[in-house]
Structure 1
């Protein structure tokens, strides 16, 4: 199945996921490395965000990441700002359950989403933004074949220090080449 791997499943996000997303969205440790607007949200704000921005947009596709065996929700992954004409989309991911951090779930989730984006949606380019202090995420993206495309200098203020936002992207042919190389290493 397209949205399954050995460790995870992706399922389309629904309105009922707002409470789950609210828990992750209000966990400052979870959001510190992905959300430029660290803030606490009321449930009504999160519900409105989920229904209008995530589910109500024709230019986004969002999925809840589930641990395959137990179907425990652990995070969210999305393609947003989908530009169908130019075949581009932005990718975002949050592993909201901290006990799943560092265990390869983000890698598998990204692979499933990129497979879908490039092989099913026929996207030409997927891009993302990552905070300069999030070295683990940058290493993951580089391992998957994303290339450095530039930065927004000192555009994020965290704990009294200015940080850059790094822009990375991957083209379909780069992803296909990287996937072939990666699968040869597994043999």
Structure 2
């Protein structure tokens, strides 16, 4: 009997009802670069992106993150179209404190309000608390990005405070809302109560 070798990278897929997440790697660089650069103005504003990335830029970026043990980068695929719709990143992993940051971005406005972001956040949090053994995951949102803040609260994040003038864009400073979720809060909301994700979307 011939045993097929298992590529661990292929196993790193997080699957939900509407989206699946795969670890960002070199095999996705062309589609990732194209989809990101085709993003809408909302994506540009809310991510602070001020440039178009060339393929060389993306290659360098992928090389850097592949060597960075303090982060896990996932790209979000629509289950219907099988195309990239965004990314979600667990970053600034501090293993001694069992804490990390998190950021999420949907690239195009046409993919907003479809439940993609909600499910991608849930899958990333499930991975962060379950596989990375984190205790606390935090994020920041521009104070005027009410849609994002409502989404984070819906998933279970709690507001902690305001980082005054925490973000600079085009000659102006803006406040950031800091938010976090703890492992016991996540477990109580989704695991202990046998939470059904279908009822949540």
- Relative to the length of structure 1, the TM-score reads 0.86
Q: Which has the larger Rg?
A: 2
User: Within the alignment, does 1:148 sit opposite 2:159 as a pair?
Assistant: yes
Q: Partner residue of 2:142?
A: 131
User: 2:60 is matched with which residue?
Assistant: 48
State the SS of the aligned residue for 1:129.
strand
Q: Which residue of 2 aligns with 1:21?
A: 32
Quick check: 1:111 aligned with 2:118?
no
Count of aligned pairs between the two proteins:
185
Counterpart in the other structure of 2:22: 11
Distance in 1 (CA, whole Å) between partners of 2:72 and 2:155 is: 21
Q: What is the aligned partner in structure 2 of residue 34 from structure 1?
A: 47
Q: 1:130 & 1:144 partners in 2: Cα distance?
A: 14
Deviation at 1:28, TM superposition (A): 5.9
Aligned position for 2:4: none
The whole-number CA distance in structure 2 between the counterparts of 1:75 and 1:67 is 9
Of 40-49 and 7-16, more deviation after overlay is shown by: 40-49
Equivalent residue, structure 2, for 1:122: 133
**Unaligned 5+ runs, structure 1:** none
- RMSD value over aligned CA atoms? 2.5
Residue in 1 that maps onto 2:71: 60
